[in-house]
Amino acid sequence: MVMICGQTCYGGLKSTHRTGLTDSVQCERLAVAVFTCTGWLCDDIPEPNDSPRYMYFPEYLHHRCNRIRRRAWNELDPPNTFAMGQGYPGNTVQREWSMDDLELDKKASQTVRNIIDACDLDWTEVTVSELDNLDPRLVCLKCSYGNHCDGERPMMVRSWRESVKHCTKKHWSDSTVKWQKISDEESRSLRQDQEEAAASTTTPPRKIWRCTHCHDKPGEPEKMTVQGMMDHLEDQ
């Protein structure tokens, strides 16, 4: 699968972002490569997650719609076509891997670029994993009316991924929104607070587990909760 990705997934990116990119960087890994899905399944049954449903490397490569299609009602059982299993609507069958249903979200991409600018980094080089490792905490300067975080006023501080969503939901992905990266010291203490808060709350189980035994086989089920996965494995 990785081989196929390497050949095809540049499609949208090349045309938009090629200029200025160094050859050593694989553009599909860049943080500015933000995709949304326009596939029928994601329209009908969105994955259980926040909207807007942005996907970054490597998630978009593994997105379910890259491997499925809806079988036409009058289509005969073609040979070598596997139907998808539990969790998928009937008539969902596997297809050759393709990112055709995914769309590079130029507005979200621009927001990531603005965030990377605020971190004093080069958007043509910063990968998703680098930005995740840096884990910058950001203040939306549009919401703060241009006021910078000074430790006095209470301000909303977000991770980079949450900031992208915020910009879309609150500011219609306004490309002029600017960001402030708060100091590393403040970020550290915020992260600690968040981790403590997360540890003391229980989140409902999410369907995020895929069965590798069933991958690319007939009746491959949709993602499951941990419990769903255990039941599934028992049934095998």
Residue (125 or 162) nearer to Zn ion, CB: 162
In the bound complex, what is the minimum distance in angstroms from residue 167's beta carbon to Zn ion? 7
* Residues 36 to 95 in contact with Zn ion, rule: CB under 5 A: 37, 39, 42, 65
In the bound complex, what is the minimum distance in angstroms from residue 200's beta carbon to Zn ion? 28
What is the contact mask toward Zn ion in residues 12 to 41, using x (rule: CB under 5 A)? -------------------------x-x--
Is 228 a binder of Zn ion (CB under 5 A)?
no
Cβ neighbours, 10 Å, residue 190: 15
Residue (128 or 164) nearer to Zn ion, CB: 164
Residue (195 or 216) nearer to Zn ion, CB: 216
**By the 8 A CB rule, do 173 and 142 touch?**
no
Is 143 a binder of Zn ion (CB under 5 A)?
yes
Residue (26 or 86) nearer to Zn ion, CB: 86
In the bound complex, what is the minimum distance in angstroms from residue 120's beta carbon to Zn ion? 21
* Residues 164 to 223 in contact with Zn ion, rule: CB under 5 A: 170, 211, 213-214
Is 4 a binder of Zn ion (CB under 5 A)?
no
Is 140 a binder of Zn ion (CB under 5 A)?
yes
**Token code pair at residue 159:** 């991770």
Query: If 0-12 CB within 10 Å is exposed, 13-18 middle and 19+ buried, where does residue 203 land?
Result: exposed
Is 102 a binder of Zn ion (CB under 5 A)?
no
Is 99 a binder of Zn ion (CB under 5 A)?
no
Residue (88 or 123) nearer to Zn ion, CB: 88
Binding interface with Zn ion (CB under 5 A): 37, 39, 42, 65, 140, 142-143, 170, 211, 213-214
